[in-house]
Amino acid sequence: MSEFLQQLLNGLSLGAIYALIALGYTMVYGVLRFINFAHSDVFMVGAFIGYYLGKLVPEGTFWGGLLVLSGAMIGCALLGMFIERVVYRPLRHGPTLNVLITAIGVSLLLEYTGQIVFGAAPRTFPQIFPAANYHVGSLTISSNQVFVIAVAILLMIALQLIVFKTKIGTAMRAVSLNPKAAQLVGVNNNVVISFTFGLGSALAAAGGILYAMNYPSIDPLMGVMPGLKAFVAAILGGIGNIPGAALGGLLLGTVETFIGGSQFSTYKDAIAFAILIVILLFKPAGLLGKFTIEKV
Amino acid sequence: MPRPHLYLLATLACAFGLSHFSDKIDPYFLDVLTGIGINIILAVSLNLVNGYTGQFSLGHAGFMSVGAYMAAAVSVFLGPRLLGEDGGTALQQGSLFLAALLTGGCAAALAGLAVGVPSLRLKGDYLALVTLGFGEIIRVIFQNFEPLGGALGLNSIPAYTTIFWVLTLVGLAVFVVTCLVNSTYGRGFLATHDDEIASEAVGLNTTRYKIVAFVIGAFFAGTAGGLYGHFKMTITPTGFDFTKSIEIVVMVILGGMGNTLGVILAAILLTLLPELLRPIAEYRMIIYSLMLIVLMLARPQGLFNFKFGKAKL
């Protein structure tokens, strides 16, 4: 039983990270209807910004850690907005496949530029937040896990407030519903899309830092697998659906951790895709998504 | 005689000619040529799916790995029993290799069928992701399947791949794809690509076309895998990952989707590029990715697509 609870805790902290990344995918898909493949590499850049900022602040302090986290989020938000402005905006009315291919191109560019700039060898991520282990009964809870779950929950609440309580959030939902109609009632689509990219990339950066805290070895290709799995999580919950992405992330993280702890641990990387395929076959709109019929 | 048949005959003649003089040619040149040939088969077969039929598949390397493993299994495990201790005559080795390639191709085609039937109900981004997922699942399965070497891969595969086999298969792949697309039946692939709903409205079974394209594409990917395995003499599951699929996709896009000649040129260019860029090898992928982005922004119809008018994508 205690092992079950321990695994559940590990799974939830991994799932919270997947959920943060999945939110970025789902928001971009909501407004632009395309898979931003480069999102997983923004996640990687976030972890690296954290690595370099982490050297500047005193190690293991709460405020220092917070500073690193917000620095990485701002840096990645700018990066995300820059990518959108330079690469995706000129293609906005192009065929979906072109955009998808360009996104793959941006993703590869970030990965391999990362290998040149940061070096291909893995690095140890510094302990930016204070470290401690708490024992509750037979459970061992590390402070990192507490931070991961707390930060993820706080960010998701903040996101929910932004999307549903602010003016720009209303505009985001309007663009996602119908971009042309939104434009007609005076929404500046460019600003909204730019903001969406910034917001999604900031969440990816937070995910990157939290991931690096829990698995403290970072390299330029670290984003590929978590990115793909987070995308699976976004589809699992219903793409374009924000609570769905959170649910999908938590589910996927938990399932994966349990598989990893069982005798089938070597199949861990395949399980996310198996879930994806099953979900798409039986419920193509995802767990919380609505199925729409294509109209000519 | 129709042009595709002439080209096929010319390629076969070339294959015979080159294999006759192969010991007089620089081995490095032959190696590069073999690499080019394998990539052409992969790119042309993916072009049938991605270009002509308009279904975005990101799992081509997965089918290649199925073919590579099955073909290698035939020649590594069955070969010694059938050929005996001395390795058999050249003719016997040739027929064994042919059987191995066919096994690899058919196994990949079966995998293509198994992947295609469920996933081709999906469109665009989703299909891309599911094929990617299948590619990864195939890789993980090979990594865990100990009889075929597991994560360490399969070693000591006999080096049966010669320039003759490569050129012959290139000729066959290009011939089959060209003739298929230009046949009355094959117009359905283009129709599916151009407008799926309209094709269905005039009575075409688009799902069937997609599956046929997928299976044929997978078959040739499998034979290319077989050639690759018997060329490198060792295969590992990680050699057929997501990056390899992307590489093939880049060839198809660079050549202009649905343009066989362009795709062949792109495959040649992209195989030669790393050889030429050897001094700056670590920048190769950066150049690749920049090329993709700039190409999509500036020339979305592909580098080697010289048809004027509306870009067909």
Q: What is the pLDDT of residue B306?
A: 67
* Structure-derived torsion over alpha carbons of residues B201, A101, A200, A7, reported in degrees to the nearest 10: 90
B83-115 pLDDT tens trace: 776 667 778 888 889 999 999 999 999 999 988
Helix (H, G, I), strand (E, B) or coil at B183: coil
DSSP string, B224-244: HHHHHHHHHS-B-GGGGSHHH
How many CB atoms are located within 10 Å of the residue B205 CB?
Answer: 13
CB proximity list for A180: less than 8 A, separation 6 or greater: none
Helix (H, G, I), strand (E, B) or coil at A173: helix
Under 8 Å CB pairs connecting chains A and B tally to 112
pLDDT at A219 > cutoff 70: yes
How many CB atoms are located within 10 Å of the residue B265 CB?
Answer: 20
- Search chain B and give the residue with CA nearest A264: B144
Averaged pLDDT score across all residues of chain B: 86
Q: Give buried/exposed letters for B153-186 (b at 16+ CB in 10 A, else e).
A: bbeebbebbbbbbbbbbbbbbbbbbbebbeeeeb
In a domain, A287, yes or no: no
B203-216 pLDDT tens trace: 999 889 999 999 99
Highest mean pLDDT among A51-60, B66-75, B80-89: B66-75
Overall average pLDDT of the B130-138 stretch: 87
Overall average pLDDT of the A285-289 stretch: 78
- When computed from its CA atoms, the radius of gyration of chain A, rounded to whole angstroms, is 19
Instruction: State how far the Cα of B179 lies from the Cα of B175, in Å rounded to an integer.
Output: 6
A218 neighbors A47 (Cβ within 8 angstroms): yes
pLDDT at B227 > cutoff 90: yes
Highest mean pLDDT among A112-116, B2-6, B273-277: A112-116
pLDDT at B313 > cutoff 50: no
Overall average pLDDT of the A130-156 stretch: 84
CB proximity list for B137: less than 8 A, separation 6 or greater: A270, A273, A274, B62
pLDDT band per the 50, 70, 90 thresholds, residue A296: low
Residues in chain A: 296
Beta bridge partners of B184: none
Q: What is the pLDDT of residue A294?
A: 60
**Cβ-nearest to A273 among B136, B289, B291:** B136
Q: What is the pLDDT of residue B309?
A: 45
CATH number at residue A98: 1.10.3470
Q: Give buried/exposed letters for A3-21 (b at 16+ CB in 10 A, else e).
A: eeebbebbbbbbbbbbbbb
Q: Where are the alpha helices (DSSP H) in B145-259?
A: 163-182, 187-194, 196-201, 206-232, 242-255
The share of chain A scoring above pLDDT 70, in percent, equals 98
Nearest CA of chain A to the CA of B186: how many Å?
22
**In Å, what is the CA distance from A68 to each residue of A52, A57, A61, B290?**
9, 8, 11, 31
Helix (H, G, I), strand (E, B) or coil at B273: helix
- The ipTM (two decimal places) reads 0.79
Q: Which regions of chain B does DSSP assign to beta strands (E)? A: none
Q: Which residues of B touch A273 (CB under 8 A)?
A: 132-134, 136-137
Q: Give the predicted TM-score (pTM) of the model.
A: 0.85
**Cβ-nearest to A105 among B121, B141, B289:** B289
User: Are B136 and A270 inside 8 Å of each other by CB?
Assistant: yes
- Torsions phi, psi for A225 (to 5 deg): -70, -50
B102 neighbors B68 (Cβ within 8 angstroms): no
User: Are B128 and A100 inside 8 Å of each other by CB?
Assistant: yes
A158-195 pLDDT tens trace: 988 998 999 999 999 999 888 889 999 999 999 999 99
Domain housing A127: 2-282
Task: Choose among A127, A116, A144: nearest CA to A221.
Answer: A116
A235 neighbors A38 (Cβ within 8 angstroms): no
pLDDT band per the 50, 70, 90 thresholds, residue B308: very low
Q: What is the pLDDT of residue B9?
A: 85
Overall average pLDDT of the B179-192 stretch: 90
Residue B268 Rama label (left phi>0; alpha psi -120 to 50; beta): alpha
B9 residue type, one letter:
L
How many CB atoms are located within 10 Å of the residue A186 CB?
Answer: 8
pLDDT band per the 50, 70, 90 thresholds, residue B133: confident
Highest mean pLDDT among A70-84, A102-116, A269-283, B72-86: A70-84
Tokens 């609505």 sit at which residue?
Answer: A290
Averaged pLDDT score across all residues of chain A: 87
B274 residue type, one letter:
P
**Cβ-nearest to A106 among B128, B293, B313:** B293
B192 neighbors B199 (Cβ within 8 angstroms): yes
Q: Which residues of B touch A111 (CB under 8 A)?
A: 285
Instruction: State how far the Cα of B113 lies from the Cα of B115, in Å rounded to an integer.
Output: 5
Domain count, chain A: 1
User: Are A35 and B125 inside 8 Å of each other by CB?
Assistant: yes
A167-177 vs A189-214: helix crossing angle, rounded to 10 = 100
B29 residue type, one letter:
F
User: Are B296 and A108 inside 8 Å of each other by CB?
Assistant: no
Q: What is the pLDDT of residue A68?
A: 92
Task: Choose among B19, B32, B47: nearest CA to B264.
Answer: B47
A226-266 pLDDT tens trace: 988 898 898 888 887 888 888 999 999 999 999 888 888 88
Instruction: State how far the Cα of A208 lies from the Cα of A190, in Å rounded to an integer.
Output: 27
User: Are A35 and B129 inside 8 Å of each other by CB?
Assistant: yes
Q: What is the pLDDT of residue A206?
A: 93
B131 neighbors B210 (Cβ within 8 angstroms): no
Sign of CA dihedral B6, B11, B16, B20: positive
What count of Cα atoms within 13 Å lies in the side-chain half-sphere of residue B231?
A: 25
Helix (H, G, I), strand (E, B) or coil at A140: strand
Instruction: State how far the Cα of A276 lies from the Cα of B237, in Å rounded to an integer.
Output: 22
Higher-confidence residue: B158 or A46? Answer: A46
Q: Where are the alpha helices (DSSP H) in A84-223?
A: 96-117, 143-165, 167-177, 179-184, 189-214
Instruction: State how far the Cα of B119 lies from the Cα of B130, in Å rounded to an integer.
Output: 7
B245 neighbors B58 (Cβ within 8 angstroms): yes
Q: What is the pLDDT of residue B310?
A: 46
Instruction: State how far the Cα of B287 lies from the Cα of A112, in Å rounded to an integer.
Output: 9
Beta bridge partners of A135: A140
Task: Choose among B137, B118, B119: nearest CA to B128.
Answer: B119
**Cβ-nearest to B313 among A90, A97, A270:** A97
Q: What is the pLDDT of residue B4?
A: 79
